[in-house]
Amino acid sequence: MPRVSVEVDGVRYDDDVEPRLLLAHHLRDRLGKVGTPIGCDTSNCGACTVLMDGLSVKSCSVLAVQADGHEITTIEGLGDGRTLHPMQRAFHEEHALQCGYCTPGMIMASLDLRRENADPSDEEIRAGLEGNLCRCTGYQNIVRAVRRAADDMRRSDQAEEAHR
């Protein structure tokens, strides 16, 4: 079995894996990173979205062997257990979830879109999240949350800059 070395949320893991093992299953079943859910079998839903070297990917559509040598960030790598990441906080405060199943993927995809666009419009947010399906909130609150988080993050970036 091929040996795979991945850094997940800042910790390096070396494992022998079957070539057919999907990254999503590697994260959940082997590394215990169950914050990343699996929602569909067709790559449509985006629930399992994580960042690979900083870019969003659907972890059900990546083999663990393809992640060899790469850095993965999951939803579990955002907060520190006590403080929420601004994107998590905005989802909480704007009630951007009901059942919460799509939320980890939504948040990771939102961070990806915010990486490229610090001040996204509603339309740009919707385009950035087109690979993520939510079947209960109806997206309005999700869009609002991403806009709020982007505003918060921009403000804190500016404050940090002024402080320097």
Partner 1 sequence: MIPAIFDYVRPSSLSDAVAALREADEEGKVIAGGQSLLPLLRLRLAYPEVLVDVSGLPELRGVRDDGDSLLIGAMTTHYEVIRDPLIQAHAPLLAAATATVADPAVRHRGTIGGSLAHADPAGDLPAVALAMDGVFVTSAREIPARDFFTDYLTSALEPDEILLGVRLPKAYTGWGFHYEKFHRTAQAWAVVGVACLVRRTNGEVAEARVGLTNMGPTPVRAYAVETAVADGPASRQAFQAAAQDAPDGTSPPSDLHGSAEYRRHLAQVLTARALAAAAGA
Residue 111 within binding range of partner 1, rule CB under 8 A: no
Tokens for 34, please give them.
Answer: 């169950």
Residue 28 within binding range of partner 1, rule CB under 8 A: no
Residue 56 within binding range of partner 1, rule CB under 8 A: yes
> Distance (Å, rounded) from C-alpha 71 to C-alpha 63?
14
Residue 49 within binding range of partner 1, rule CB under 8 A: yes
- Which residues within the stretch 119-158 sit at the binding site for partner 1 (CB under 8 A)? 126, 128, 130-132
Distance set, CA 98 to CA 61, 102, 137, 156 (Å): 26, 9, 6, 28
Cβ 54 to partner 1 shortest distance, Å:
10
Residue 84 within binding range of partner 1, rule CB under 8 A: no
> Distance (Å, rounded) from C-alpha 46 to C-alpha 109?
8
Of 83 and 138, nearer to partner 1 (C-beta) is 138
153: closest CA among 93, 111, 103?
111
Segment near partner 1 (CB under 8 A); pick from 6-14, 19-27, 81-89, 154-162: 19-27
Segment near partner 1 (CB under 8 A); pick from 42-50, 75-83, 96-104, 142-150: 42-50
Contacts 24+ apart (CB under 8 A), 155-159: 156/86, 157/118
94: closest CA among 47, 150, 148?
148
Residue 26 within binding range of partner 1, rule CB under 8 A: no
Tokens for 3, please give them.
Answer: 């040996």
Interface contacts to partner 1, rule CB under 8 A: 2, 18-20, 22, 25, 41-44, 46, 49, 52, 55-58, 60-63, 65-66, 109, 112-113, 126, 128, 130-132
